[in-house]
Amino acid sequence: MAKNKFNKNWLHDHINDPYVKLAQKEGYRARAAYKLKEIDEEERLIKPGQVVVDLGCTPGSWAQYIRNKLSGKEGGGINGTIIGLDMLPMDPIADVHFILGDFREEEALRQLEAVLAGRQVDLVLSDMAPNLSGIAVTDAARIEDIIDLAIDFARAHMKPSGALLVKCFNGTGYTQLVEKFRLEFKTVIQKKPKASRDKSSEIFLLGKVLKHPSQ
C-alpha cells in the first residue's frame, strides 16, 4: 500500500513538474536537459567548433541541448562534433554520433577513435548514475566507480584545457569525490541546478583544466 502511495505521489509531482512540461513543450526527451542548460549558461561550457562527448547519453536530452547550442550553420548541420556513448540504445538525433556499447571495451573505443580522427575532446559530460541500493556505503562505492571511469576517460581523450562535468550525490563519500576532482583539475566547481528536484541529493561536479594530462 505504501509503495502505491509513493508511486502516486511521484506521478503527481512528475506530471505537475514545470520542467517536465517545458521539456514536452520544447521537444526534449527528458527534463534533465534543463540541468545542463543552467550549468552551461552559468559556466559557458559549450562553444561553437567544440568536440563534446556525452557519456551515458540515453535517452538523449543532453545531446539534444548540445546540438541546439552548436547548430546555426547555413543549410543545417552543426558547428562542432557531438559523440554520445551508452550501453542502452538511443533513438537517433540529427548530427549526433551515437556509439552503442561500453566505452571501456575495444569495439566502442575503436568507433570513438574513428569519429575523433585524431582530435582531442573539449568537453566530457556524464549524467551516468548507478542503480542505487539504499545502502550508503555500497552506493558510495558504485558512484565512485562511475566517477573514476569518467575521470579516466577525460584523462585519455580530453584536451588538457578541457572540462569534465559529472553527476554525483551529496552524501556518503561525496567529500572524497570532491577531493579526487581537486587532485585532477585546476578548478573544481560544485553545481546544484534549479532543475534538480529539491528532494534529490543529486549534485554536479565540474572540473576544468587537467593537472596531469596523459598526452
Q: What is the pLDDT of residues 97-142, one digit of tens each?
A: 999 999 999 999 999 999 999 999 999 999 998 888 889 899 999 9
Q: Is 152 annotated as a binding residue?
A: no
Residue type, position 150, single letter: A
Residue recorded with cell 551515437: 98
Q: Where are the domains of the chain?
A: 31-210
What's the whole-model pTM score? 0.90
| 10: pLDDT strictly greater than 50 | no
Q: Is 102 annotated as a binding residue?
A: yes
| Alpha-carbon 184 to chain mean position | 18
Second-level CATH architecture of 31-210: 3-Layer(aba) Sandwich (3.40)
The maximal CA–CA distance of the chain, rounded, in angstroms, is: 56
Q: Is 10 annotated as a binding residue?
A: no
Burial class (CB in 10 A: 0-12, 13-18, 19+), 43: middle
**What backbone torsions phi and psi does residue 5 show, to the nearest 5 degrees?**
-65, -45
Residues 164-208 have pLDDT tens digits of 999 999 989 999 999 999 999 999 999 999 988 878 899 999 999
Residues catalogued as catalytic: 167
Q: Give the whole-angstrom CA distance, residue 189 versus residue 95.
A: 30
| 90: pLDDT strictly greater than 90 | yes
Q: Give the whole-angstrom CA distance, residue 70 versus residue 190.
A: 25
What separation in angstroms does the CA of 3 have from each of 15, 49, 75, 185? 18, 48, 51, 42
Which helix or strand (DSSP H or E) is residue 83 part of? Answer: strand 81-86
| Alpha-carbon 11 to chain mean position | 25
- What pLDDT, on a 0 to 100 scale, did the predictor assign at position 2? 52
